[in-house]
């Protein structure tokens, strides 16, 4: 059997309310319990510039118009800085990078959801990121109706009660397009992707993912 190198860059992808943030925190604990050094990060964000751009990209209350292409390029600017400041240095130091969203989100949301074209966005991502791309990706698949309901519930518990960001506030058809894009992207790269039914209860989702991590890191569960 071919031996696979343990991953050093892991991303978690999926629509709104799929449970990415919760899962990433669980992953961090699991990997640390195996003695691994972990850098947990997210997109857009991860650097000072990225966090500033995040505010613009997700805060729908700003009066500034952002077209689809400008949005795409701002996500990529945040990513380029994120790679330079955080991801590449962490990988070079032998750390495991755990990232909440990466290129696949851009391909699904901007390429398909916004209609800029899957190949166009994929090529752009590739020309910006080069080799710095995830070697293991978890896709949390959930019906957008369920995911958005969760997001709404979480938002209500937050300070910004009931307020959705620019992406969450899109029509349900947009989120359905994005979901089907994720499904296609994941199918096309079965070696990198692990797809999970994220409508299941969280302990089940975590259990499935932990098995994959155990297998990929060669740690008996």
> Of 119 and 180, which CB lies nearer to a copy of itself in the complex structure?
119
Per rule CB under 8 A, is residue 58 in the interface with a copy of itself?
no
By CB atoms closer than 10 A (0-12, 13-18, 19+), residue 124 is: buried
Residue with tokens 């755990």: 98
Residues in the chain, overall count: 221
Counting contacts by CB under 8 A, is residue 61 touching a copy of itself?
no
Rule CB under 8 A: say whether 88 interacts with a copy of itself: no
Q: Which of residues 108-167 bind a copy of itself (CB under 8 A)?
A: 120, 123-124, 127-128
Where do the H-state alpha helices sit in the chain?
20-33, 48-58, 68-82, 88-92, 103-106, 118-129, 144-157, 172-188, 202-217
CB atoms near residue 21 (< 10 Å): 13
Question: b vs e for 148-165, b when ≥16 Cβ sit within 10 Å of the residue's Cβ?
Answer: beebeeebeeeeeeeebb
At its nearest, how many Å lie between a copy of itself and the CB of residue 196? 32
- Show the binding pattern over residues 3-42: x = contacts a copy of itself (CB under 8 A), - = does not: ----------------------------------------
- The reply to whether 84 sits near a copy of itself by the rule CB under 8 A is yes
Piece of the chain touching a copy of itself by CB under 8 A; list 31-39, 67-75, 150-158, 163-171: 67-75
Contact residues: a copy of itself, CB under 8 A: 47-49, 52, 56, 63-67, 69-74, 76-78, 80-81, 84-85, 120, 123-124, 127-128
């Amino acid at each position: 059997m071919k031996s696979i190198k343990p991953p050093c860059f892991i991303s978690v992808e999926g629509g709104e309310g799929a449970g990415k943030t919760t899962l990433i925190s669980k992953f961090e604990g699991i990997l640390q319990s195996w003695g691994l050094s972990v850098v947990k990060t997210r997109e857009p964000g991860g650097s000072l510039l990225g966090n500033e751009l995040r505010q613009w990209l997700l805060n729908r209350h700003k009066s500034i118009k952002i077209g689809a292409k400008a949005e795409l390029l701002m996500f990529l600017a945040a990513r380029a800085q994120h790679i330079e400041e955080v991801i590449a240095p962490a990988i070079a130091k032998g750390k495991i990078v755990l990232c909440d969203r990466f290129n696949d989100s851009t391909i699904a949301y901007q390429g398909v959801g916004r209609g800029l074209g899957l190949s166009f966005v994929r090529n752009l991502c590739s020309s910006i990121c080069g080799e710095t791309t995830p070697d293991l990706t978890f896709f949390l698949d959930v019906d957008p109706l369920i995911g958005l309901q969760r997001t709404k519930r979480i938002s209500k518990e937050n300070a910004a009660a009931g307020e959705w960001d620019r992406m969450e506030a899109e029509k349900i058809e947009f989120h359905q397009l994005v979901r089907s894009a994720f499904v296609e992207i994941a199918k096309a790269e079965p070696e990198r992707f692990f797809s999970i039914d994220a409508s299941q209860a969280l302990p089940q989702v975590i259990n499935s993912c932990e098995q994959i991590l155990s297998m990929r890191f060669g740690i008996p569960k």
